[in-house]
Structure 1
Amino acid sequence: MIETSQLQTLVAVTRAKSFSKAAEVLGVTQSAISQSIKNLESKLEIKIFKRSGKAVILTSEGEKLYRLGTQFLEEMEETLTELQGDRDQMQGKVRIGTLTGIGKTWLAKEVVWHAKENPELQLSVRMGHQEDLLLDFEANKIDILILPEDDVPLHGEKEFFMEEKSTLVIPREMKDVYFNTKLTLETLEKIPTILFEQDDLLFLKWCRSKFKATPKKLNVRFSVNSHGHMLQAVSEGLGIAVVPNHVLNRSYFKDKVLTLGNEYEVPSGKLYIVYHKESENLLRIKNTIDRLLSHRDTFNT
């Protein structure tokens, strides 16, 4: 394997056309220069330099190696400069991952403003399923994650972001029909209900928080794995549903459905920001996390 120092020696001798002058440039002895070139020639089994009067010039094989060496050293210098700049400046890539609902209703909009304020940053938002996001995080394809507490990976630094809330939403025309009296678990079992798929964990968590139990059966009218389409179904009078506050507050259907006030709004889980330990001192990562934390109050509103 060719060593970087050997390429540096090769380039220096080529440019100086002299072993002694190259030694002065690199701050080493002439014998060290000679030995480095000799070792390189022996390793590659080629002749790199030939004499031309008092100067040394490249052979045809040496010319090819010189082009490789100059390109490699220039790219290495650019990369090292970029890495140093990335640490102390707001430039470079920041890749953020989160669940689709959080990304669409809140995160993507916040990142747009962050990108506008920091034109040197290359920002990207990845929205998807928890399993895919964790795989990409482990493979260093994502720098920052925002996930529910139960989905947070074991490896990585985490910081509490906020507690998400959910609320019961009802069709406008159903308010007087079903809610003249206090809502109980028994009445809930009879009301047409819209679920996030058949196993709606958010709905069940809401029931446990409100009634300390879950329904034995439900009158399921419609199920769809999209909170936005659930709200559409509620607005069309198909039934009631439980949705995250941040989805409701940014939905087109916000004014087409009703809630029953704070009494029916419950905590539904904690969200955490997760990042790689080795990136915590990078300015672009730290400032992006600070930005998200400083704007978390807008998440549920």
Structure 2
Amino acid sequence: MAKENLNDLTAFVAVARAKSFTRAAAQLGVSQSALSQTIRELEARLGVQLISRTTRSVAATESGERLLITVAPRLEEIEAELSALRASQDKPAGTIRITTPGHAADSILLPKLARVLPDYPDLKVDITTDYTMVDIVEQRFDAGVRIGDQIAKDMIALRIGPDLPVAVVGSPAYFERHAPPRAPGDLVNHTCINFRMPTYGQLHVWEFSKGKRKLNVRVEGQVSVNSPPQQIEAALKGLGLAYLLKDGVQEHIDQGGLRSVLADWCPTLTGYHLYYPSRRQSPAFALLVDTLRYKK
């Protein structure tokens, strides 16, 4: 039976169960004459009479009873599945895949999700920590998180966190061997921990600003790493100065494991943003957006 004839089978089931064209037509919201024509056309296609009609009664024939017993449960199963599908679109469910730097995952995503996910057991969030500039469409991510000025212009971007001050830090052991720098130019005399950009493989240029003055400094050192946690660990071990988000090292500064220098030259970066390619949102994604949205 062709898919387009499912409506005809539904009409037949309604007539056979109601034993009345009048009542079945009312249930289906069609005219009695249109319903009668539908049944006649169905019978013609099948080559068998399904409904016995008299002036006093309407009833399924033997063939009609056989079809009713076979088809009615299957139609009910189809309708139940379609109803469940429609219901799933009205509540947050499914899996959302996000690529994000580890710092954003720890400081923003996980704390905010912890307040919401327990209320939505059918919603899952798959977080991949990555420091490369991922093509979320090609890699089949639903969204990504990056610092605001790193996001492609064709993406929808939503701020999810405050601006991020930068800090240059070193350990007390390092400063026992080296005088603290007083200006960015002094860094040429210091050992620094380079950060190798994961996307392009180039070493990160340290950016500084003070008033209207802006300086970019290419630093030198014995160690290069490709993730901020390694930078922090290297700095704690006295291997050199590191250029990091201050929020990520504040605890070490407070505990005395690291010391901040060049504070008056360190810039503030645009905060983390959630980015995604389309304005069409499922209930699950809409909930995620509302949960992560930055509120001052």
8 Å CA contact retained: 1:192, 1:240: yes
Kindly report which structure 2 residues correspond to 1:1-301, keeping only aligned pairs within 5 A, or say none.
Answer: 1-3=2-4, 5-40=7-42, 45=46, 49=50, 51=52, 54-56=58-60, 58=64, 60=66, 63-83=69-89, 85-86=90-91, 91-93=92-94, 95=96, 97-101=98-102, 102-116=104-118, 118-119=119-120, 122-129=123-130, 130-135=133-138, 142=142, 145-152=144-151, 157-161=156-160, 162-180=162-180, 182-185=182-185, 187-197=186-196, 203-207=204-208, 212-215=215-218, 218-249=219-250, 255-260=256-261, 262-274=263-275, 276-279=278-281, 288-294=288-294
TM-score, normalised by the number of residues in structure 1: 0.72
1:227 is displaced (CA, Å) by: 0.9
8 Å CA contact retained: 1:19, 1:34: yes
Bigger helix fraction:
1
Counterpart residue type for residue 134 of structure 2: E
- Mark the CA change 1:176 to 1:255 in structure 2 (over 3 Å): closer, same or farther: closer
8 Å CA contact retained: 2:100, 2:144: no
Q: Max radius of gyration: which structure? A: 2
Tell me the percent identity: 17
8 Å CA contact retained: 1:48, 1:62: no
Cα deviation per residue 1:76-104 (whole Å; 9 max; x = unaligned)? 22333443x43xxxx44573624132113
- Mark the CA change 1:7 to 1:268 in structure 2 (over 3 Å): closer, same or farther: farther
Counterpart residue type for residue 289 of structure 1: V
1:19 is displaced (CA, Å) by: 3.6
Counterpart residue type for residue 109 of structure 2: L
1:181 is displaced (CA, Å) by: 5.3
SS state of the match for residue 26, structure 2? Answer: helix
Unaligned runs of 5+ in 2: none
- Mark the CA change 1:2 to 1:286 in structure 2 (over 3 Å): closer, same or farther: closer
SS state of the match for residue 21, structure 1? Answer: helix
SS state of the match for residue 240, structure 2? Answer: coil
SS state of the match for residue 244, structure 2? Answer: strand
1:194 is displaced (CA, Å) by: 1.5
Unaligned runs of 5+ in 1: none
SS state of the match for residue 30, structure 2? Answer: coil
What is the CA–CA distance in structure 1 between the aligned matches of 2:177 and 2:220, rounded to whole Å? Answer: 16
1:213 is displaced (CA, Å) by: 2.9
Q: Alignment length, in residue pairs?
A: 280
